[in-house]
Amino acid sequence: MPTVDVDFDELRELTGHEEKSDDELEWDLFNLGVEYEGETEDGKAKLEFESDRLDRLSVEGLARSLRYQYGDARGVSVPRTNDPEWVIEVDESVPEERPYVTGAIVRGLSMDEGKLESLIQLQEKLHRTMGRKRAKGAIGVHDLTMLKGRAAVTATEGANGAESDPRAGAASAPPKTITYRGIAPDGDRFVPLDDDADRTPGEVIEEHPTGRTYGPLLADYEAYPAIYDDIGLFSFPPVINGRRTEVDEGTRDVFIELTGTDQWTIDKMCTIICYALAARGGRVESVRVEYPDGELVRPDLAVEHKRVTHERVEHLLGVGFEREEVVDLLERSGLAADVEESADGVVYDVSVPPYRTDVLHPVDVVDDVGRAYGFNDLDPRYPDVGTIGGRTAGTRLEDAARDVLVGLGFEDMLNFHLANEAACFDRMRLDPEGGAYGAAPPATIGEPYSEDFTVVRTWALPSLMMVLENNTHRAYPQDLAEIGLSARVDEREETKVHERRTVAAVLARTDAGYEAAKARLQALAAAFDCELETPATDHPSFIPGRTAAVVLDGESVGVVGEVHPAVLVEHDLEVPVAAFEFDLRTLE
């Protein structure tokens, strides 16, 4: 889980509660779900919290949450912004792998060492969490006074040649433009942070320490992302900023830019930073983002809404509330609510502030009510059911079967239930349209994240064969077993997918044979008082004449035999393998 280093003196100052002791702050933070994990070398508190509350990645965010908890702040607060004075123009040359950009301006910061350290920490924590180590989103913070936007010429300007003060308001200054575009690896030079030499983007990746760290993110890019002002290149996302616009302790006005692969992600990261800087007295100003096919005004400070019934709040928390009390608890959570009457009873239309990335469902609203009320103040009670918790009959059967398999010398495996069609069928010499055990139309994943995991496996034996394939460097014998899920498409099922639990085992050893596999299968069946029969059968994955069907209590439910040499070669195995697989339910 994320951790953040916080100076308790700074936290007291930002909350306005100088009287709080360290122990009291630790307890108050614990009630927010933030745990104290000790001190850093420089005496700061190391705090750990759930990864859903990314708005607490800074001391400013934690102070805001505490002020709500103390009742010093209530409801939804949204910074006021002006009409955009700066424009981010997105050129068509921007790499298609990283097409999105957002930004904001914050003025009047009076930056000092503590504020700068907090900003840098927030930036890096957001990179590691929402930004997925800069792969999904990367942040650049720049000294605004060191930027020169490309300004449109007004009629007044053309008459007298005067240039507007870059710190003037939007009403008196024309828009200033910077450009997000693509650049060749050997393109324009700039001086990166922590460096003194002019370098091309390619040289930064090869020679600069930060470039070597984050350069692999751009390994497949034909053109690199770059941000220009009227002077030249000043940001090379997601790798490094230029030294010209470096923020230091004397900086008052900053320009924030973020690029990434998802607009929502970088917008939320930008909003979190803007709220943190606003807590330091900064004034947030808008930026217009001009894409080739449209434009956006950022930061995105839109308030979202969730609806939840009074009955649901009481049901989930097990507490009776007056409606005024629920509204009070919501406001102390940094939310706001309008009370409505409907056919479902009392309904709360809840306003969610833009920095909250975790409120995705009405249940999240109820969770906030519970935290504001105090989970420690909830009275524990037994649920109104006639039973107590325990393992299901299916789980007990699996555990019993595993115990027997381990007693027979098998090592228990836990493999992924997802595989791909080649592993389930092609590499096992199995036709998915055939009638053999394991042959069935697979349930496919609509949007797989990897070519290795595109279907739910139709049988478990391919998974065990891949384990053997990955362990040819280990000593033999290797006797492996797994009890796990498999599935196939079945239009008769309500979900259109039939799921089952199967028992699969392999014996990889120099003396592996049909008799060895059947002996262990016979012992397993006997342990559950099942009658086993093994009539001869054919199966493409097994050697003809050395294969039998598994018939338990008169029902054909599996296969046992010696694995076909072609399957062994496909998995780079040099020892014979005997195996069996059958449906677990027949052991009941």
Q: Which residues are annotated as a binding site?
A: 358, 364, 367-368
Tell me the Ramachandran region of residue 373: left when phi exceeds 0, alpha when psi lies from -120 to 50, beta otherwise: alpha
Query: Please, are residues 481 and 412 in contact by the beta-carbon 8 Å criterion?
Result: yes
Structure-token pair, residue 193 = 């942070």
Structure-token pair, residue 547 = 């294969």
Give every CB contact of residue 43 below 8 A, 6+ residues apart in sequence: 7
Query: Please, are residues 102 and 295 in contact by the beta-carbon 8 Å criterion?
Result: no
Residue 295, classified by CB atoms within 10 Å of its CB into exposed (0-12), middle (13-18) or buried (19+), is middle
Structure-token pair, residue 376 = 């420690």
Cα 50 to its chain centre, rounded Å, is: 13
Query: Please, are residues 274 and 123 in contact by the beta-carbon 8 Å criterion?
Result: no
The whole-angstrom separation of Cα 566 and Cα 564 is: 5
Q: How many CA atoms lie within 13 A of 130 on its CB side?
A: 33
Specify which residues 187 forms β-bridges with.
none
Task: Encode 239-287 in three state secondary structure.
Answer: CEEEHHHCCCCCCCCEEEEEEECCHHHHHHHHHHHHHHHHCCCCEEECE
Specify which residues 192 forms β-bridges with.
242
Closest C-alpha to 411, from 347, 476, 348, 331: 476
The whole-angstrom separation of Cα 536 and Cα 542 is: 12
3-state secondary structure of 512: coil
Separation in Å, CA 439 to CA 197, 422, 466, 501, 522? 63, 12, 18, 15, 25
Q: Where does 138-207 have alpha helices with state H? A: 155-160, 201-207
The whole-angstrom separation of Cα 459 and Cα 425 is: 10
List, as residue ranges, the binding site for Mg(2+).
358, 364, 367-368
The whole-angstrom separation of Cα 478 and Cα 413 is: 12
3-state secondary structure of 326: helix
